[in-house]
């Protein structure tokens, strides 16, 4: 039996997934680990956890499937984006990795904008300087830990450290590389202009590869640690969002992936780089060769519903909480919810933004509050769609929804109505790890292209069409929603 292994190095666990040549998921295993917050705004992780997590998950998934390493035809990698791993000349990690959700680098973001020029930075890299990206973290280490910086000879992202341990190769895929803020997204290569402006050595950065390209092979030492066969090819893979896009088949223009997890992600593939001029959307290279994607991120999507349940009805299941909201009319009789419980990124990159219920009256009960949360998150996701439309993204044909929140039929209908689009579910639920396995299969020759792999393996399982009356009712609701942040921003700043 020939299978493909997808490895997802996330913030809380490393997942290993095996898929066969028909795209069927054979087995899934995961190994969990913590991350550290040594100071306010800081988020760090010991890189060794990723390797021990990977070895444990790989051995577990092989055992679960009753297979050996000889059955694995190729390995694909994905994982958390933006994390900074600094290594010395011998490949030894110099300090804990600074993760994607670390917020310490505000001053360094300002310095990057000053050195490169904000507009030039957005045009080159597709993004504004945000605290989550890798480049500001490098400058922070240079500014605050010069003794560490002096010893740096290599820089990697989290999944690429696992690649190094598996193959001995320093390599990175162009999709994950685009999240460093150091890649010229149009050229799909490191930006000499940005590196020169920031005085960063090109020699520290690994070569970039397209998602299905082979970057190395499993070494004898890694084979002994993982149970894989020495010589097994390892493909470049992709950052978690681009691999998730592959996993649900969002690989061509017109198909948009909407992930309704703790955070909410709107992901749209494009045959050309489409850059939002103010940098309010992320523009990255796709894991699909020669393609790009735009991405909007809201920080509290299904996380808003979890907070609502835990705060107001902790004894209820999500299904029991949501069911009565179906009887509340669209617009909740004048009640709005602004879902900025943890600040916001798209369209307002503002860590001081806060959540709010607006329009409460004595007529409103718990079902109204619940529906307002569902509608507020839908409006927040629509913000990304509106920005993409204005930036020139090709028309949306279909939105593929996934994530825990997508299990709610009511929420899916609200999303279809607020967005006024055809919303579908697909047969794949393992997201990024599955996408990494498909990329491995393409690299091994099981499919001729990523498009062919997605066409063969990803199928639509359900459909929700917008209801014309509800869609019309939500238009003024969305316009009122858009007015909330500008009106409340001075209050948010004063309270903070």
Active site residues: 240
Measured CA to CA, the distance from residue 32 to residue 368 in angstroms comes to 37
What secondary structure, in 3-state letters, does 41-56 show? CCCEECHHHHHHHHHH
Do residues 11 and 101 make contact, with C-beta atoms less than 8 angstroms apart?
Answer: yes
Phi/psi for 393 (5° steps) reads -65, 145
The alpha carbon dihedral of 308, 310, 315, 316 has a sign of positive
How far out from the chain centre does Cα 61 lie? 24
Measured CA to CA, the distance from residue 103 to residue 87 in angstroms comes to 22
Start-to-end CA span in the chain (Å):
58
Measured CA to CA, the distance from residue 297 to residue 412 in angstroms comes to 18
Do residues 100 and 82 make contact, with C-beta atoms less than 8 angstroms apart?
Answer: yes
Is 209 strand, coil or helix? Answer: strand
Q: Helix crossing, 240-247 with 450-457: angle to 10°?
A: 50
Binning the chain into helix, strand and coil, the percentages to the nearest 5 are 40, 20, 35
Q: Which two tokens stand for residue 272?
A: 């050309």
How far out from the chain centre does Cα 155 lie? 21
Do residues 180 and 82 make contact, with C-beta atoms less than 8 angstroms apart?
Answer: yes
């Amino acid at each position: 039996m020939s299978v493909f292994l997808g490895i997802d190095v996330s913030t809380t666990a490393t997942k290993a997934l095996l898929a066969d040549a028909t795209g069927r998921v054979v087995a899934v295993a995961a190994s969990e680990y913590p991350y550290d917050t040594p100071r306010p705004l800081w988020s760090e992780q010991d890189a060794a956890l990723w390797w021990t997590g990977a070895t444990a998950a790989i051995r577990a998934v092989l055992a679960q499937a009753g297979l050996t390493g000889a059955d694995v035809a190729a390995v694909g990698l994905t994982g958390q984006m933006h994390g900074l791993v600094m290594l010395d000349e011998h490949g030894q990690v110099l300090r804990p990795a600074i993760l994607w959700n670390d917020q310490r680098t505000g001053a360094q973001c300002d310095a990057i904008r000053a050195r490169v020029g904000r507009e030039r930075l957005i045009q080159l890299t597709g993004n504004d300087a945000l605290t989550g990206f890798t480049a500001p973290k490098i400058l922070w280490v240079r500014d605050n830990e010069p003794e560490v910086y002096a010893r740096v000879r290599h820089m990697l992202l989290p999944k690429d450290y696992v690649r190094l341990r598996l193959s001995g190769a320093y390599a990175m895929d162009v999709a994950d590389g685009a999240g460093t803020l150091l890649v010229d997204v149009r050229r799909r290569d490191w930006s000499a202009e940005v590196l020169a402006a920031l005085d960063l050595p090109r020699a520290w950065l690994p070569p970039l590869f397209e998602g299905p390209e082979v970057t190395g092979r499993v070494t004898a030492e890694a084979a002994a640690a993982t149970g894989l066969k020495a010589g097994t090819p390892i493909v470049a893979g992709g950052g978690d969002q681009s691999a998730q896009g592959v996993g649900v088949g969002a690989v061509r223009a017109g198909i948009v992936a909407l992930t309704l997890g703790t955070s909410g992600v709107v992901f749209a593939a494009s045959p050309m780089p489409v850059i939002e001029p103010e940098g309010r959307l992320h523009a990255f290279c796709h894991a699909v060769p020669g393609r790009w994607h735009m991405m909007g991120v809201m920080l509290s999507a299904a996380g808003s519903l979890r907070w609502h349940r835990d705060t107001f009805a902790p004894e209820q299941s999500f299904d029991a909480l949501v069911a009565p909201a179906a009887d509340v009319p669209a617009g909740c009789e004048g009640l709005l919810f602004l879902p900025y419980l943890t600040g916001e990124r798209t369209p307002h990159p503002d860590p001081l933004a806060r959540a709010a219920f607006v329009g409460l009256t004595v007529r409103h009960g718990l079902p109204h509050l619940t529906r307002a949360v569902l509608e507020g998150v839908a409006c927040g996701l629509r913000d990304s769609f509106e920005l993409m439309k204005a930036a020139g993204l090709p028309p949306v044909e279909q939105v593929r929804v996934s994530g825990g929140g997508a299990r709610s039929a009511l929420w899916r209908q609200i999303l279809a109505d607020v967005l006024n689009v055809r919303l579908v579910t697909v047969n794949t639920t393992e997201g990024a790890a599955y996408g990494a396995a498909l990329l491995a299969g393409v690299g091994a020759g099981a499919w001729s292209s990523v498009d062919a792999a997605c066409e063969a393996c990803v199928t639509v399982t359900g459909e929700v069409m917008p209801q014309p009356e509800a869609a019309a009712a939500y238009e003024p609701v969305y316009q009122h929603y858009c007015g909330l942040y500008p009106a409340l921003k001075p209050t948010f700043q004063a309270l903070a």
